[in-house]
Amino acid sequence: MQSLLDISIILIMIGIGAGAVGSMTGVGGGLLMTPALTFMGFTPAHVASTSLIAVTSTSASSTIEYSKQKRIDYAIGLKMAALSIPGAITGALLSNEISIENFKAYFAIILIVTGLYITYKNSIIKEKSAKESKSTSFDLLFYVGSFAAGIVSSLFGIGGGIIFVPLMILVLRMAMLRAGPTSQLTLLISSTAGVLTHSILGHPDYVHGAYLAIGAFVGGQIGARLSHRLEESILQKLLSIILIGAAIKLLFDFMNKK
């Protein structure tokens, strides 16, 4: 059996890696932390709430660094956060109602979709850029998407960046250079709302969450500072492989429970 020291070191390292990758891509480190906690045997509510503590730490760290770099669009970030807060509260409440088997299946689907989006993001952006027309349906997508991101954030503990970033790029036509940093501000606010709701409901494992948060804060700083230096295509491929690999493992566990 692993000692508390071993587990703390593992969680800190997971936090650093997830925080760095989450900061560089803007999608939030929870995409890597949630599978890790799931494989450790936590219940869905514990997984979501504990991961969300670390996601909040990552986004706080990243927001501090990106604000110094003046890469955050505060007006858009705050607007999306306001729309996502009700969703974050709803997601925390729903986390009590989902079984671990269904949690794994649904989250695996999210990981696969995210992996595919990251892989083909550049071609999608180019296609959308060629169509400059903007309709009222885009406004509806922005409002609904922001609310849905809040639900996904608290239900799965991933922060919602997988929705915030595409919304900013595809609907608002923001450049990735500003969309990722702006997403971190939105994540900070919406994930804080989720953590508070989960805490009221008594969900988080604060010890494990603290270890993840320590690593995630350090990783967030590393990711924000490396975001200019690393080749984006390499990062995208690596992250896609990790996400799809985790999805396959979750689906395998889900099918073996049937």
The predicted structure's pLDDT at residue 4: 63
The predicted structure's pLDDT at residue 129: 54
Which SS3 state, helix, strand or coil, does residue 42 take? Answer: coil
pLDDT digits (tens, 9 = 90+) for 88-104: 999 999 998 888 888 98
Torsion over CA of 55, 124, 137 and 155, rounded to 10 degrees? Answer: -20
Which SS3 state, helix, strand or coil, does residue 230 take? Answer: coil
The predicted structure's pLDDT at residue 247: 86
- Which one is predicted more confidently, 45 or 224? 45
> Percentage of the chain with pLDDT > 70?
85
Q: What is the arithmetic mean of pLDDT over 230-239?
A: 69
The predicted structure's pLDDT at residue 84: 95
Cβ-based neighbour number of residue 201 at 10 Å: 14
pLDDT digits (tens, 9 = 90+) for 127-177: 555 555 555 556 788 899 999 999 988 999 987 777 888 888 778 888 777
Do the beta carbons of residue 118 and residue 247 sit within 8 Å?
no
User: Residue 242 carries which side chain, given as an amino acid letter?
Assistant: I
Residue bearing tokens 């296609």: 127
pLDDT band at 24 (very low <50, low <70, confident <90, very high): confident
Q: What is the helix (H) or strand (E) element at residue 106, kind and residue range?
A: helix 100-129
The predicted structure's pLDDT at residue 199: 94
> Percentage of the chain with pLDDT > 90?
24
Mean pLDDT computed over every residue of the chain:
83
pLDDT digits (tens, 9 = 90+) for 187-225: 999 999 999 999 999 998 888 889 998 998 888 888 877
The predicted structure's pLDDT at residue 132: 53
Nearest one of 239, 230, 224, 201 to 35, comparing CA atoms = 239
pLDDT band at 228 (very low <50, low <70, confident <90, very high): low
Torsion over CA of 129, 148, 87 and 53, rounded to 10 degrees? Answer: -80
Tokens for 77, please give them.
Answer: 């970030």
Note the Cα 114 to chain centre separation in Å: 10
Q: What is the arithmetic mean of pLDDT over 24-52?
A: 83
The predicted structure's pLDDT at residue 73: 94
